[in-house]
């Protein structure tokens, strides 16, 4: 069968971002309020349209820069999946979106919303209670990105992307506890992280925050895979795209 032109549907492509960070011990997500129809004034993931000459990754990075004040920070950005249900967006031409998982350190400024729409950090566990829920299929996109983040904490070093350039082992442990929602044994975590090959490297400096013994400061190492992996107690049914 020869492919005929009428078999192809032209679409517009968007990049939608699940931008995660940790604020005050809570896993938070950046949401915007939609300024236009469809789903006007509903909460949605930040995102935008692919422009001529750019890759979808460049679209995602551009939107990320517009929504947050991160510039050259040690950011993690990865594709999660393509969402293409024909009825996911009523606009014409059809809108298909590529979702991205972005992980950011806690930003001092809540959000520098340069656009008209209000951008804000929302605790992930409060998302269900948003009036009307998320726009489009963004609830499903969020769930998949969260699952990806949770599994990737196990086998990769992305946990450091939640931290400032210099961080303590306890801050890194908090990442696991907050994202997984479980307690992690402090002494064993310390050993495991410092023993792992190039996960974290000591800076020599100390933290000196508040009471208690000052913690040593570390920065992220060059390792991308975590060997051996960090395993969470109960088996997580959280392997995405499978």
Partner DNA sequence: GCAAAAGTGTTTTAGCTACACCCATGT
Partner DNA sequence: ACATGGGTGTAGCTAAAACACTTTTGC
* CA separation for the pair 18, 72 (Å, rounded): 19
| Segment lying near its own copies (by CB under 8 A), choices 111-119, 133-141, 180-188, 210-218 | 111-119
1, two tokens: 């069968």
Q: What is the x/- site pattern for DNA, positions 172-191, by CB under 7 A?
A: -------------xxxx-xx
How far from chain centre, in Å, is Cα 187? 28
User: Within positions 185 to 224, which residues make up the interface with DNA, using CB under 7 A?
Assistant: 185-188, 190-192, 194, 206, 208, 210-216
Report how far apart the first and last C-alpha atoms of the chain are (Å, whole number): 31
Residue 155 binding result from its own copies, DNA, none, given CB thresholds of 5 to 8 Å by partner type: its own copies
- Given the complex with its own copies, which of 214 and 228 has the nearer CB atom? 228
Name the phi and psi angles at 37, rounded to 5. -75, 155
- Tokens 């210099």 correspond to 166
**Considering only residues 33, 44, 70, 81, which one is a binding residue for its own copies as defined by CB under 8 A?**
81
CA atoms within 13 A on the CB side of 18: 27
Per CB under 8 A, 40 contacts its own copies: no
Which residues make up the interface to DNA (CB under 7 A)?
168-170, 185-188, 190-192, 194, 206, 208, 210-216, 228, 231, 233
């Amino acid at each position: 069968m020869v492919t005929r032109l009428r078999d192809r549907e032209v679409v517009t492509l968007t990049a939608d971002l699940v931008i995660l960070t940790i604020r005050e011990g809570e896993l938070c997500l950046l949401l915007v309020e939609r300024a236009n129809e469809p789903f006007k004034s509903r909460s949605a993931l930040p995102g935008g349209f692919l422009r001529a000459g750019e890759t979808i990754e460049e679209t995602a990075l551009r939107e990320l820069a517009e929504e947050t004040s991160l510039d050259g920070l040690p950011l993690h950005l990865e594709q999660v999946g393509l969402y293409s249900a024909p009825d996911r967006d009523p606009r014409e031409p059809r809108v298909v979106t590529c979702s991205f998982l972005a992980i950011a350190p806690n930003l001092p400024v809540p959000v520098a919303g340069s656009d008209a729409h209000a951008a804000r950090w929302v605790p992930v566990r409060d998302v269900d209670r948003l009036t009307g829920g998320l726009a489009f299929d963004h609830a499903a996109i969020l769930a998949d990105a969260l699952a990806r983040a949770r599994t990737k904490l196990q086998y990769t070093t992305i946990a450091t992307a939640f931290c400032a350039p210099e961080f303590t082992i306890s801050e890194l442990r908090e990442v696991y506890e907050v994202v997984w929602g479980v307690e992690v044994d402090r002494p064993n975590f310390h050993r495991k992280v410092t023993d792992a090959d190039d996960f974290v490297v000591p800076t020599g400096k100390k933290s000196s925050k508040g009471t208690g013994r000052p913690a040593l400061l570390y920065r992220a190492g060059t390792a991308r895979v975590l060997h051996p992996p960090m395993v969470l107690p109960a088996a997580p049914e959280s392997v995405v795209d499978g």
